[in-house]
Structure formats: C-alpha cells, structure tokens
Amino acid sequence: MADVVVVGGGVGGMAAAIRLGAAGHHVTLLERNPELGGKLASRTIDGFTFDTGPSLLTLPHVFDELLGHAGTSLAAAADLQRLDPICRYSWPAGAPGGATSFDHRAGRTEAVAEVDAAMPGQGERFDAFLEHARTIWEVAERSFFAGPLESPLSLLRRMQRPGDLLAIDPLRSLSARAGQVFDDPRLVQWAGRYATYSGSSPSLAPATLACIPWIEQAFGAWYLRGGLAVLAGALGKALSELGVDVRTGVDVAAIRSDAIAVKGVRLADGEALDADVVVANVDATHLYADLLPDRAMLRKALRAPLSSSGFALLLGVRDREGARVPAHHEISFSPDGPGEFSQLFRARTVPTDPTVYICNTSATDPSAAPAGSASWFVLVNVPPAGDVDWDAESDRYRDRLLETMAARGFDVAGRTEVCEVVTPLDIAAHTRSWQGSIYGTSSNGRRAAFLRPGNRGPRRGLYLAGGSSHPGGGLPLVAMSGRIVADMVAADGWRP
Ligand SMILES: Cc1cc2nc3c(=O)[nH]c(=O)nc-3n(C[C@H](O)[C@H](O)[C@H](O)COP(=O)(O)OP(=O)(O)OC[C@H]3O[C@@H](n4cnc5c(N)ncnc54)[C@H](O)[C@@H]3O)c2cc1C
C-alpha cells in the first residue's frame, strides 16, 4: 500500500485524496488553515453569511461522481438549487449600444427570447453562439479535460478526428469569436466575460472559453443552501468516511526528496512524515519557491502571465422600499469593456469604471441574512497584488466601488450593517496563491494551457492537483485535476 500525503485541503487536494483513499491507499491530508476548503470558504459576520470564494457551482455531476467514491452523492450531501435566471446582466447608460438588461434564463428557449427582447435581432445569434459552444465542450471534455497535458501531442492523442483541434477553437480569441457572431457590442462584452472565469482577458484568451455559457445553460448554475462552502464540508465528510487522516492547522514546510524520488514531507514544527506519493495541492509557485525550492521550475511556473485577482466587499444591506434588488447573480457591466481589460492586463492597474458582480445569496436563501436585510458579495476583477499598493489603495477603492454601484442603481448608503473589504493580499494570505491571483496563470495567449504547470512534478511520486496546474482553476476543474492525478498514480504503478 502506497503512503500518500496530500499537501493542502483545497478542493483539488480533497478530490485527489477521496479518489486515492477510495482506491485503498493510506492517505494523509495536511491543511495549514483550521478548516478545509481553501478558496472555497465562507464568513458569517453579525448574522450575515457570505461565500468569500466561489459563489457559482457549475458541472455538478463532477462532484456527484466524486462523492460517489465515498458512497454518497451531491444531492444527498447538500441542498442543491438550480438558479433561474442563471445571471442578470445590465449595461449602464453610456455603454455602446445603450442601457439595457437581460436575464440569462435557465431554459435555452427562454434565454434566447430574453436576449431578443432586450436586443432585437440578437436572439438567433445568441442561440448560434451556444450551439457552437456545445461542440467545443463535447470535444474539450474528452480531450483537454480527460487527462494530463504533458505536451501538445498528449492532447492530440486524445482527439478522435483531425477536425477536433479546430473544433475547440483555440486559434482565435474569445472576443474575436464573439465579434464574428454578434453585431451588438453588448453581447460581445457579455461573451468576453467568460474569459474572467480563468482570470483572463477576452482579447487574449482562446475562443475555447466560449464553452462556459453553454455549460451553464446545459448543466445549470447551482447554489447550495447555506452557501457554497457547504461543499467543502461534504468533501471533508467523505474523506473521514473513507478513513483519510485529515490534519488541519498543520503547515508543511518542505517536501522531502532525494534527486530522484519524494520521501515525504517535513512540517513547520519539525515533524517528518514518510510518503511514497506526495500530491501538492498548493499553488505551484509556493511548491517551487518554498516546499521543494527549484528555480528552473519556479521560472517555468511563471512563464505565462498571472491570472487576475479580485477585490471584494462583503455587504450586509438593510432592505429599502423601492431600492433595486440584485438577482442571485447580477453583473453590471462597465460602460467601457475594452478599456477595463486594458487597465487590468496592460496598465495592470485597478479599473476606474469596472464591471461589478453582485452575488445576492439572500435572493434564494433567507438564512443568509437577518430578516429585512440581505447578504451581498460584491466582486470586481483587479490585477494581482504585486501591481497595486493595496495598503494605500484599499479604502479609496472601496469608496469608489460603492459610488460606482450607486451610479448603477445599487445604492447602499445609510443601510449597510456590514461592510468588509477583501483584497488580493487577503486572498494570498488565506491560500498562499501567488500575489492573490485566483486561477494561477491566466489563459491569455494560444500557448497558455501548455505553459501552465503540469500534474507531474520533477521527482518520482510528486504530483500537482489544483487551480495553478492543469486543467486550471474553478471548482469543477480542480476536482478534475484530482481525478487526473489519481489516474496518474494508478498508471505509474502505485498499488493500493
Ligand atoms: C473570490 C473568488 C471567487 C471565485 N469564484 C468562483 C466561482 O464562482 N465558481 C468556481 O467554480 N470557482 C470560483 N473560484 C475559483 C475556485 O475557488 C478555485 O479555483 C478553487 O477553489 C481552487 O482550489 P485548489 O484545489 O486550487 O486549492 P486552493 O483553494 O488554492 O487551496 C489550497 C490549500 O492549500 C493550503 N496550503 C497552502 N500552503 C500550504 C502548506 N505549506 N501546508 C499546508 N497547507 C497549505 C491552503 O491553506 C489552501 O487551503 C473563485 C475563487 C475566488 C478566490
């Protein structure tokens, strides 16, 4: 039986540990925070509960299948709610094309009708965009997401037909694809927003990311009653039931190895644990800068530009008669989409008039806030911490964001019970992600997927599972990285 140590209790680490535990290995999972989940976390302040990381669950069957290894299911472990609308989108006055809004409805026919009502003539194009996206997903699922990405060849080997490579649309950018389909700039901006699901820019990320709206349409946008962090609890319970030794509040200081193979880990208090297999769920940069210092690997891990980070407000808001109430997921777009991304990825500064995401959990879940009030998690994309002096900027940017929200119809002045700020520095401190970047390296550029650290480390027995390695960030993707690593451990001959 191989002794396995998983370093990090994020979703990717837990996914790997569940599979390796279910396969019969002796697994120990070490997490430095007092609780499991990593970025998947929540905070309750004065009766207001906020998901501080993920607020939208997609591809729930990925978690269903994962929890199946522990003899349970997502539906048994959590109170699942499919959201309709998936998201409400609005454009302020001054946006090219003018002010409007539409609800991206859960049903495709209804979604198309809503788009057509808001932007006459665009419904059919919206439908065509989704149809093309379906093909991308079908091919990507059985190729890109099906295994490790050791080289472009490994991807080609998993493709069934020569046309599959072009089917995933990797050569043009997401905004180029959107510009070809839509003649309304607002829908080009809408499509481009999916680049931000990997912390990227629509003009640089490949059109492959167009599969995301289809995923949301086909498999649903989901909420878990009590907040998404309920998922971390469900995965933690599965670990216990499988007999995985979970130790929280344990900081791993080093991965022990010789020149060829891993030997185990050393904890910050000096304790040494032996292992044949180590799965690093930590950010690849923390792995190669600190745990297994390796300059060449660190340089490699940072070959692609970092993904964006986030600046968030946790707002406890008293209801006010006549005030605009955000949908569960609401996006208020910047009037200047290209300018926003240019500030983020070229000037590397905070956007002056940003796209604002509001997650109003209270729209679905009254338990998220005291009666007569609501919990709003407000998020804007910002560059990673190294580019901005957040100690100086944080309060100023909070005030500017509140003004932006007020100008877009979400005025909370005089009715906030809670107003907490989360900066990229907080994200970095909580999860040790490099400069608070949310998704490791970005998808900017045609080669970005190949520049992202692979799932195999530079020593025998060392594997990487998590958002900074293949296939990238986002809850279902990091769960897939856990699956890919567990498959590699088996294929490499580590027997339970
Ligand atoms: C604000 C925000 C919003 C997001 N929104 C969404 C969303 O709506 N939908 C979605 O699907 N995804 C979303 N994501 C992305 C998603 O949360 C992440 O991609 C995913 O949770 C990352 O999982 P991971 O496995 O990479 O581990 P991480 O969450 O990065 O966890 C790594 C763990 O390793 C631990 N660790 C680090 N160093 C050590 C050490 N030396 N010893 C022991 N433990 C260590 C850390 O404490 C941490 O718990 C969001 C993320 C953020 C921050």
pLDDT band with cut points at 50, 70 and 90 for residue 150:
confident
Q: Which CATH architecture has domain 3-40+60-79+226-304+442-491?
A: 3-Layer(bba) Sandwich (3.50)
- Residue closest via CA to ligand 1's atom 51 equals 53
Q: What confidence tens digit (pLDDT) does each residue in 380-389 have?
A: 999 999 889 9
Residue showing tokens 């300059």: 295
Mutation choice for ligand 1 from 269, 271, 282, CB with most ligand atoms inside 8 A: 282
Residues near 357 by Cβ (< 8 Å), separated by ≥ 6? 329, 330, 331, 378, 379, 380
- Residue closest via CA to ligand 1's atom 32 equals 10
In the reported structure, the alpha carbon of residue 225 is separated from the centroid of ligand 1 by a whole-number distance in angstroms of 20
Q: Per the confidence metrics, is the pTM higher than 0.85? A: yes
Tell which residue, 298, 337, 307, 279, has the closest CA to residue 464: 279
Residue 436 CB less than 6 A away from ligand 1: no
Specify the ligand 1 atom closest to the Cα of 55: 8
pLDDT band with cut points at 50, 70 and 90 for residue 154:
confident
Q: What confidence tens digit (pLDDT) does each residue in 28-61 have?
A: 999 999 999 999 999 999 999 999 999 999 999 9
Please state the rounded mean pLDDT for residues 104-110. 98
Q: What confidence tens digit (pLDDT) does each residue in 469-484 have?
A: 999 999 999 999 999 9
CA atoms within 13 A on the CB side of 411: 9
pLDDT at 169: 93
Specify the ligand 1 atom closest to the Cα of 475: 11
Specify the ligand 1 atom closest to the Cα of 253: 41
pLDDT at 151: 84
In the reported structure, the alpha carbon of residue 448 is separated from the centroid of ligand 1 by a whole-number distance in angstroms of 20
CB 67 within 8 A of CB 77: yes
Mutation choice for ligand 1 from 306, 378, 425, 431, CB with most ligand atoms inside 8 A: 431
Q: What confidence tens digit (pLDDT) does each residue in 55-100 have?
A: 999 999 999 999 999 999 999 999 999 999 999 999 999 999 999 9
- Number of Cβ within 10 Å of residue 131's Cβ equals 11
Whether the pLDDT of residue 419 is over 90: the answer is yes
Please state the rounded mean pLDDT for residues 174-198. 97
pLDDT at 1: 58
Please state the rounded mean pLDDT for residues 374-385. 98
pLDDT band with cut points at 50, 70 and 90 for residue 120:
very high
Q: What confidence tens digit (pLDDT) does each residue in 322-344 have?
A: 999 999 999 999 999 999 999 99
Average pLDDT, the chain: 97
In the reported structure, the alpha carbon of residue 147 is separated from the centroid of ligand 1 by a whole-number distance in angstroms of 21
Whether the pLDDT of residue 2 is over 80: the answer is no
Residue 404 CB less than 6 A away from ligand 1: no
pLDDT band with cut points at 50, 70 and 90 for residue 190:
very high
pLDDT at 152: 84
Residue 472 CB less than 6 A away from ligand 1: no
Q: Please, what is the end-to-end C-alpha distance for the chain in angstroms?
A: 4
Residue 199 CB less than 6 A away from ligand 1: no
Residue 54 CB less than 6 A away from ligand 1: yes
pLDDT at 346: 95
Delimit the domains of the chain by residue range: 3-40+60-79+226-304+442-491, 106-218
- Residue closest via CA to ligand 1's atom 4 equals 54
> Can you give the three-state secondary structure of the chain, one letter per residue?
CCEEEEECCEHHHHHHHHHHHHCCCEEEEEECCCCCECCCCEEEECCEEEECCCCCECCHHHHHHHHHCCCCCHHHHCCEEECCCCEEEEECCCCCCCCEEEEECCCHHHHHHHHHHHCCCCHHHHHHHHHHHHHHHHHHHHCCCCCCCCCHHHHHHCCCCCCHHHHCCCCCEHHHHHHHHCCCHHHHHHHHHHHHHHCCCCCCCEHHHHHHHHHHHHHCCEEECCCCCHHHHHHHHHHHHCCCEEEECCCEEEEEECCCEEEEEEECCCCEEECCEEEECCCHHHHHHHHCCCHHHHHHHCCCCECCEEEEEEEEEECCCCCCCCCCEEEECCCCHHHHHHHHHHHCCCCCCCCEEEEEHHHCCHHHCCCCEEEEEEEEEECCHHHCCHHHHHHHHHHHHHHHHHHCCCCCCCCEEEEEEECHHHHHHHHCCHHHCCCCECCCCCCHHHHCCCCECCCECEEECCCCCCCCCCHHHHHHHHHHHHHHHHHCCCCC
Specify the ligand 1 atom closest to the Cα of 52: 1
Residue 328 CB less than 6 A away from ligand 1: no
Whether the pLDDT of residue 215 is over 90: the answer is yes
pLDDT at 496: 87
With a pLDDT cut of 70, the percent of the chain lying above it is 100
Please state the rounded mean pLDDT for residues 227-242. 98
